[in-house]
Amino acid sequence: MNRKVNIAVIGTGRMGSVHVANLVRHIPQANLAAICDIRLEVAQAVAQDLGISRVEQNYHELLADPSIEAVLIATSTNTHARIIQDAAAAGKHIFCEKPLALELEDVDQALAAVENAHVKLQVGFNRRFDKSFQKVHEIVESGQIGNPCILRITNRDPELPAMEFLRVSGGMFLDMSIHDFDMARFQVGEVEEVYAIGNVLIEPGLNDFGDLDTTIITLKFANGAIGAIDNSRQAVYGYDQRLEVFCTEGTAQADNETETTIRKGNRDGFLAAKLPYFFMQRYAPCYIEEVRTFIECVRDDRPTPVTGRDGRMAVVIGHAAWKSFHEQRPVKITEFDA
């Protein structure tokens, strides 16, 4: 099938504008019918830059349009669940940025609306579409290096986001680590138990609202494997993204990607290229591929690869991590997800 899917984007801030540009420039399977933002002037600026003719301030105007088949939600997290419910009720297929919501009750209400409306939902865990992480997944899933024993994930940002964002982000485990929780399930399987420790070692202001900037999280998987995730909000040398799945017959590793593969050597030793400094740079192709895949799933009536349940389980693990940190004990997933 070669037809284009009519899609609208709700939310044209930092992530929304990236998705809008990708839809216009890199995803010919889609027809971007309209964009929307409560800050109309922001959406208008994006539209002018990319030649988009229809701009709305109220997303209900888009949901009322029968020609629009799907919506991409890139608004603030606290609005996701409500917009998902409204979009599902209008019969629109939905791509939603992570997390689906910060509270499990809101997630469950959104997922119930999707199920009742029989529409598709894909959650924006873009790292599943990274070529290196996908290859690790394929190697492990094939069984060629035996059964998984140890998962190690390093995820360190080059600098802290704005404090205004951090105050409403849900904290380290529901904002930053949530990518790693989804990746852990993608690589190894279901998580049974979480133990999290952390501290504020970089930005003292985080103490004002109980957040963290440095954490280590250990996981127990249903298949017997164990995992370790280390997170930092500030790695001064760049955006540090590494992954390993150690198995009974070998290991599969994804190392950092650098700006080039050049190394310079002289009497002082070797100097390698820098790491990317921004997640948009490191994962740019993934943002294209995740939305392209969603569009093709809508067009061809296929299941989406990152489901509402995937989105929910990442939030569940995030809540378990916070509970573990505050109560200083391992927390079983069944305490949140019986």
| Predicted pLDDT of residue 294 | 98
200/214 Cα distance (integer angstroms): 6
Q: Is the pLDDT confidence value at 338 over 80?
A: no
Instruction: Between 183 and 257, name the one with better pLDDT.
Output: 183
- Do residues 129 and 293 touch, judged by C-beta distance below 8 A? yes
| Predicted pLDDT of residue 279 | 82
Q: Is the pLDDT confidence value at 99 over 70?
A: yes
| Predicted pLDDT of residue 278 | 78
| Predicted pLDDT of residue 300 | 97
**Token pair listed for 235:** 């790695």
Paired residues of 253 in beta bridges: 244
66/111 Cα distance (integer angstroms): 22
- Domains of the chain by start residue, with CATH: 5-119 (3.40.50.720), 128-282+314-335 (3.30.360.10)
Amino acid making up residue 272: A
> pTM for the whole thing?
0.95
Question: How would you class 237 by CB atoms within 10 Å of its CB: exposed for 0-12, middle for 13-18, buried for 19 or more?
Answer: exposed
Q: Is the pLDDT confidence value at 139 over 60?
A: yes
